[in-house]
Amino acid sequence: MMRSLFSGVSGLKTHQTRMDVIGNNIANVNTTAYKSSSMVFSELISQTTRKASGPNAATGAGGVNARQIGLGVMGAAINMNITGQGAAQSTGNPFDIMISGSSFFIVSDGNNNFFTRDGSFYVDAGGNLAMTSNGYNVMGWQVDPETMDIKQDTVSALRIMSQVNMTYPPEATSQAYVGGIIDKFDTDVTSSSGKAINLNFYDALGYDYTAKLVIKQSSVTNEYSIELDKILDAAGNEIDLTGIVFGSATNQKVNNSIVLDSTAYKWDGNALQTASGTEVCNLANIFDTNLSTAAEPVFKTDEATTEALEELAKAYGYEGKLDDFMNLTVELQHDDDNDTANNFTGGPTFSVKQLFYNQLNNTHPNLLTPSTAFLNGPANWGLDSFDTTGRNFVGANLVYNDGNQTGEKGHFIGVNGQPTNQTITLDFPDTAGNFSDIVIDFSTSSMFDNNGTCTVGATPGDLKGLGMGRKLGDMSGISIQQDGMIYAAYDNGMTRLLGQIAVAEFANASGLERAGENLYSATLNSGQFDGIGKNITANGGKMTTGQLEMSNVDLSAEFTEMITTQRGFQANSRIITVSDTLLEELTNLKR
């Protein structure tokens, strides 16, 4: 038999194998992250019919080369172009991830780890990041619960949408600041009701509340009072302020005249009547005689008393709160020479409430008789009118630089004029439950001419945004960074690190073994996976979301290889045909 027959057969088999490789490449031209293969040929062993001999110097004979006849061809290797980067295909799916570089995703079937470049992932019913093709879990690093940083340890399944990750816990507000401009010509800040600003805050359960603060102008041009008016819940209901402290007992200078509307009201003894004689308020009916003292008179708390006090304030044209009206103060000069009878209460400054109470009890001083113990009483004095010099309230005075102090003009000096004190604490009692004390910083507020308009407002959180509090947050989105870190966004403005996708790198990536379904297994020649993996950015790689890596098959190259393979196959078939013809001629010799 002729050697050429067997050489031709080996050529046919080898070219057929090469065609199989080309066919597989073309079949996977649209397979995500597929890596093309190519076949390398090598000759089979040659038959030596004569050994080579060297030259003989003694005889002068030359050397003779060996005589060898090749016995065909074989496939030397099938190489995988595993390091060739495929083109990017945009999908818009945030869980589709493309790797740039030589790394591999690590996935697991629950028992074994595999490696892939196919980044078409999704979140399964258990909240795990998994491959869409086979459900294998994507592996990575978890978050250390103590430091909330990534802990690069043995990779595990990334359960990014577990029940605990679906919400972000609420937090009580603990910091706030009041900033903006106070303009002394703003009609709100000069009114008896004052300029209202709202501070929105949260308790520890995430319920939101609104603290209404009121700023009022003082008779001193660079001082403004601030006090807590009320606190409302999300439904608009007022909460009980008992035990809640904002500032302290403070006096604000307020110079104005309080005058009874004599066209609509008149006094008849201790009874305030309308012009027609209808009684609307009687001093004898509004004070709680069991609780009142000369220094601390107390009003009754029934509805009739409240209505009578409202009518009393209305009669004097006061538009602010009832407590504000009754806490207005009248300042008298004390005469030590005539202070022998001790027939007065209090001191040089008396609240309107005290004077009304003294009027009821006919003690001095009152709104009809200042008392001989005091000299130089107010110019207007009596039940019909009186001048005020200030008011008592619970809160603080905000003092600004009017040019008579050192520092920048118009800027905030301090609470109650103390430069070392820039804050006021909204202090909740321990019995208030889920509230946290809120430290309010006023250092960014200022006093300037702003065309009669105040811009002052309250913002939760400090100047860095810390301590602002938050409601319970529902997960609103997930993002994957270039380094594989996975963050969740919540509708309360917070973000949380959920984990990091780890990658594997191999000393010889072409030594990986295909395991089907776009997966590879480690072999002895690729190098083993250490179980931990690496950060993809360590060697300059990155992950891109919304994109997938396409197959790196080059169709033009494959078709060219197909042509050469076809010609090679045809040529080898001709070797067999011709060899057969020769053998036929040999057998014909017997005829």
Q: What is the mean pLDDT of residues 96-100?
A: 95
pLDDT at 321: 81
Q: If pLDDT is split at 50, 70 and 90, which confidence band does 336 have?
A: low
Distance of CA 388 to the CA centre of its chain: 51
Residue among 483, 481, 482 nearest 534 (CA): 483
Q: Which long-range contacts (CB under 8 A, 24 or more apart) does 269-274 make?
A: 270/359, 270/360, 272/311, 272/312, 272/315
Q: 507 pLDDT exceeds 80?
A: yes
574-591 pLDDT per residue, tens: 888 888 788 888 888 876
pLDDT at 386: 82
Give the HSE-up count for residue 411: Cα atoms under 13 Å, Cβ half-sphere.
9
Q: What is the mean pLDDT of the chain?
A: 89
d(CA 459, CA 177) in angstroms, rounded, equals: 5
Q: What Rg, from alpha-carbon coordinates, does the chain have?
A: 47
d(CA 559, CA 556) in angstroms, rounded, equals: 5
Q: 3 pLDDT exceeds 80?
A: no
Do residues 558 and 39 make contact, with C-beta atoms less than 8 angstroms apart? Answer: no
d(CA 552, CA 117) in angstroms, rounded, equals: 12
449-468 pLDDT per residue, tens: 999 999 999 999 999 999 99
Q: If pLDDT is split at 50, 70 and 90, which confidence band does 283 have?
A: very high
Q: 375 pLDDT exceeds 90?
A: no
Q: If pLDDT is split at 50, 70 and 90, which confidence band does 497 have?
A: very high
Greater model confidence, 342 or 582: 582
Do residues 131 and 116 make contact, with C-beta atoms less than 8 angstroms apart? Answer: yes
pLDDT at 72: 80
d(CA 470, CA 172) in angstroms, rounded, equals: 7
Greater model confidence, 46 or 388: 388
Q: 153 pLDDT exceeds 70?
A: yes
Cis omega before residue 419 (within 30°)? no
Six token digits for residue 392: 């008592």
Do residues 488 and 498 make contact, with C-beta atoms less than 8 angstroms apart? Answer: yes
Do residues 128 and 158 make contact, with C-beta atoms less than 8 angstroms apart? Answer: yes
**E strand intervals along 522-565:** 542-545, 547-549
pTM: 0.72
Tokens 């913002």, located at residue: 459
Sign (positive or negative) of CA dihedral 154, 160, 166, 169: positive
Q: 26 pLDDT exceeds 60?
A: yes
Do residues 105 and 503 make contact, with C-beta atoms less than 8 angstroms apart? Answer: yes
139-149 pLDDT per residue, tens: 999 999 888 89
Residue among 182, 254, 220, 218 nearest 410 (CA): 182
Angle, CA of 505, 506 and 512, to the nearest 5°: 115
Residue 408 buriedness (CB in 10 A; 0-12 / 13-18 / 19+): exposed
Provide the b/e sequence for 447-471 (b: ≥16 CB within 10 Å): beebeeebebebbbbbeeeebbbbb
d(CA 142, CA 160) in angstroms, rounded, equals: 10
Q: 293 pLDDT exceeds 90?
A: no
Q: If pLDDT is split at 50, 70 and 90, which confidence band does 374 have?
A: low
pLDDT at 407: 81
Q: What is the mean pLDDT of residues 468-487?
A: 94
pLDDT at 69: 81
353-363 pLDDT per residue, tens: 998 998 888 88
Q: 509 pLDDT exceeds 80?
A: yes
Q: What is the mean pLDDT of residues 461-484?
A: 93
Q: 373 pLDDT exceeds 80?
A: no
Q: 377 pLDDT exceeds 60?
A: no
pLDDT at 137: 96
Spatial CB neighbours of 235, under 8 Å, sequence gap ≥ 6: none
Do residues 167 and 491 make contact, with C-beta atoms less than 8 angstroms apart? Answer: no
What the chain holds in terms of domains, given with CATH numbers, is: 3-46+69-81+553-590 (no CATH), 88-168+474-549 (no CATH), 170-256+393-470 (2.60.98), 261-383 (no CATH)
Do residues 375 and 414 make contact, with C-beta atoms less than 8 angstroms apart? Answer: no
Q: Which segment of 119-123, 402-406, 427-431 scores lowest on mean pLDDT?
A: 402-406
Greater model confidence, 348 or 531: 531
Q: Which of 176-180, 242-246, 255-259 has the highest mean pLDDT?
A: 176-180
Residue among 256, 278, 275 nearest 266 (CA): 275
How long, in residues, is the chain? 591
Q: 338 pLDDT exceeds 80?
A: no
